[in-house]
């Protein structure tokens, strides 16, 4: 009944969680290469950034099911900097991307029905769908110099599928969905009456000139679409709890979906007024934070690429965007034992591949977010340990 995997904030396995807790209780310093919280990664933030939350306008409560018009307009304007035209009328504010998923599962699925999720990907989907009484079925990403959707794995999809989920760039593979893939997915979803749900929370973090960046909303016009984003990744402020859904696709289907989604949103009214009032200012001022995060992950990726050249037994898989990197390592021991050995011998914490549902061993995943000096010290020790 219960998965062997735990939510990310609890660790990857019971054994690893217990060992990590023991080491920390003993005061042992750990290099955490699973760190995904930018507020704990030494990223510089303006000291007065949160003054936008103190606007006196927030003292007046005006509930709007989809969020304050000013905040929805701010999200639409923020899309425009990427060249994506979004109407504020099609923006739905949520407290987080996780909440956005749960609202869409309520909208699209009856209990017991199915959504398709990529494999590998972040294990959040398993937990959110279980909480909503919805099933998941995987479709595969395959690595051939870069990660690609295996469209053949979609052929045997269950008959009660209601939505197909994509993450672009994917966490942890760092792969974007290409324009050609979006076109095929859009046609497939239109043919089978599936909604296409795209998580674009890492879309701003392009790594490398060859990254095939594709914003899904303006391209997947043939089927009902929902694209997701939020302050957590776009400006590194997960604690402010503001995410969004942008509805797209054929006008009739989009408007019908929004009408039903309004009832769901109005039942929760979960987004706080201060963050909505401050949204325009936060999104504008967050550009500097985003630039700092981008510089950090770019520097750490360059360090990892350079270091990996000295350890040919392990392979750094191609990264196109996001905050993570995947290493394929010699399969001389199981991933769980490998991660425990790294923790015990090198005091380095990483994620095993099975945490993200890689189909076989042996992979480890590292965050590119830690301070550059910490990462530069850990990278050669990590690669030496897993290569021997």
Assign residue 13 the CATH number of its domain: 3.90.1150.10
Name the nearest CA neighbour of 194 among 138, 114, 136, 97: 114
Interatomic CA distance for residues 229 and 216, integer angstroms: 12
Residue 221 belongs to domain spanning? 49-284
Up-side HSE of residue 374: CA atoms within 13 Å toward CB?
20
pLDDT for the residue 11: 42
Tell me how far the alpha carbon of residue 267 is from its chain's centroid. 26
Q: Two tokens at 166?
A: 């994509």
Q: Two tokens at 148?
A: 């690609």
Q: Are residues 302 and 313 in the same domain?
A: yes
Residue 3 lies in a domain: no
Q: Are residues 186 and 327 in the same domain?
A: no
Q: Are residues 235 and 320 in the same domain?
A: no
The label of the residue with tokens 């020790």 reads: 381
Of 266, 284, 302, the domain-final residue: 284
Q: Are residues 121 and 263 in the same domain?
A: yes
Q: Are residues 147 and 255 in the same domain?
A: yes
Q: Are residues 83 and 216 in the same domain?
A: yes
Q: Which are the contacts of 368, defined by CB distance < 8 A and separation ≥ 6?
A: 296, 297, 300, 301, 304, 323, 324, 325, 375
Interatomic CA distance for residues 344 and 19, integer angstroms: 9
Residue 373 lies in a domain: yes
Residue 292 lies in a domain: yes
Q: Are residues 195 and 304 in the same domain?
A: no
Q: Are residues 146 and 236 in the same domain?
A: yes
Hey, what's the torsion of the CAs at 243, 318, 81, 367, to 10 degrees? 40
H/E stretch holding 141: strand 135-143
The tens-digit pLDDT sequence of the chain (388 residues) is: 233 333 443 344 678 888 888 888 889 999 999 999 999 999 999 999 999 999 999 999 999 999 999 999 999 999 998 888 999 999 999 999 999 999 999 999 999 999 999 999 998 999 999 999 999 999 999 999 999 999 999 999 999 999 999 999 999 999 999 989 999 999 999 999 999 999 999 999 999 877 776 667 667 678 999 999 999 999 999 999 999 999 999 999 999 999 999 999 999 999 999 999 999 999 999 999 999 999 999 999 999 999 999 999 999 999 999 999 999 999 888 899 999 999 999 999 999 999 999 988 899 999 999 999 999 999 999 999 998 8
Q: Using alpha carbons only, what angle is made at residue 220 by residues 130 and 204, rounded to the nearest 5 degrees?
A: 75
Strand order across the 147-149 sheet: 91-94, 243-248, 225-230, 195-199, 161-167, 114-119, 135-143, 147-149
With beta carbons less than 8 A apart as the criterion, state whether 387 and 313 touch.
yes
Residue 2 lies in a domain: no
Q: Which are the contacts of 160, defined by CB distance < 8 A and separation ≥ 6?
A: 112, 113, 114
With beta carbons less than 8 A apart as the criterion, state whether 308 and 315 touch.
yes
Residue 103 lies in a domain: yes
> How is residue 346 annotated by DSSP?
I
H/E stretch holding 198: strand 195-199
Assign residue 75 the CATH number of its domain: 3.40.640.10
Inter-CA distances, 221 with 76, 85, 131, 172, 267, Å: 18, 13, 30, 27, 29
Residue 329 lies in a domain: yes
Interatomic CA distance for residues 76 and 20, integer angstroms: 42
Residue 188 lies in a domain: yes
Residue 1 lies in a domain: no
Helix (H, G, I), strand (E, B) or coil at 59: helix
Q: Are residues 226 and 280 in the same domain?
A: yes
Of 238, 263, 284, the domain-final residue: 284
Of 253, 284, 315, the domain-final residue: 284
The total of structural domains in the chain comes to 2
Q: Are residues 259 and 351 in the same domain?
A: no
The values of phi and psi at residue 197, to 5°, are -115, 120
Q: Two tokens at 198?
A: 């795209």
> How far from each other are the two terminal CA atoms of the chain, in whole angstroms?
37
Q: Are residues 242 and 354 in the same domain?
A: no
Q: Are residues 212 and 122 in the same domain?
A: yes
């Amino acid at each position: 009944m219960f998965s062997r995997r735990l939510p990310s904030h609890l660790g990857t396995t019971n054994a690893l969680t217990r060992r990590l807790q023991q080491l920390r209780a003993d005061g042992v310093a750990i290099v955490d290469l699973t760190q995904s919280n930018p507020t704990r990664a030494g990223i510089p933030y303006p000291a007065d950034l949160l003054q936008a939350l103190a606007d006196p306008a927030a003292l007046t409560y005006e509930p709007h099911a989809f969020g304050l018009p000013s905040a929805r307009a701010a999200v639409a304007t923020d899309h425009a900097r990427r060249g994506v035209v979004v109407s504020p009328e099609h923006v739905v504010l949520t407290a987080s991307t996780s909440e956005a998923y749960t609202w869409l599962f309520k909208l699209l699925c009856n209990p017991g029905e199915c959504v398709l999720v990529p494999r590998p990907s972040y294990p959040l989907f398993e937990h959110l769908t279980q909480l909503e009484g919805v099933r998941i079925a995987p479709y595969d990403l395959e690595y051939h110099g870069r990660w690609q959707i295996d469209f053949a794995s979609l052929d045997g999809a269950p008959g009660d599928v209601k939505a197909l989920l994509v993450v672009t760039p994917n966490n942890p593979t760092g792969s974007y969905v290409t324009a050609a893939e979006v076109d095929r997915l859009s046609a497939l979803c239109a043919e089978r009456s599936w909604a296409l749900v795209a998580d674009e929370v890492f879309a701003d973090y392009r790594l490398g000139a060859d990254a095939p960046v594709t914003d899904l909303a303006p391209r997947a016009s043939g089927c009902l679409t929902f694209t997701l984003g939020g302050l957590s990744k776009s400006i590194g402020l997960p604690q402010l709890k503001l995410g969004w859904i942008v509805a797209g696709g054929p006008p009739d289907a989009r408007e019908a979906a929004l009408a039903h989604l309004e009832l769901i949103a109005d039942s929760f009214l979960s987004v706080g007024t201060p963050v909505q009032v401050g949204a325009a200012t936060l999104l504008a001022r967050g550009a500097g934070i985003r630039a700092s995060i981008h510089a950090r992950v770019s520097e750490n990726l360059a360090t990892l690429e350079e270091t990996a050249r000295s350890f040919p037994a392990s392979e750094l898989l191609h990264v196109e965007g996001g905050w993570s990197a995947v290493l394929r390592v010699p399969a001389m021991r199981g991933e769980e034992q490998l991660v425990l050995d790294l923790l015990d011998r090198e005091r380095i914490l990483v994620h095993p591949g099975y945490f993200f549902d890689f189909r076989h061993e042996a992979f480890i995943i590292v965050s590119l977010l830690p301070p550059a000096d910490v990462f530069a010290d850990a990278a050669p020790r990590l690669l030496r340990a897993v290569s021997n």
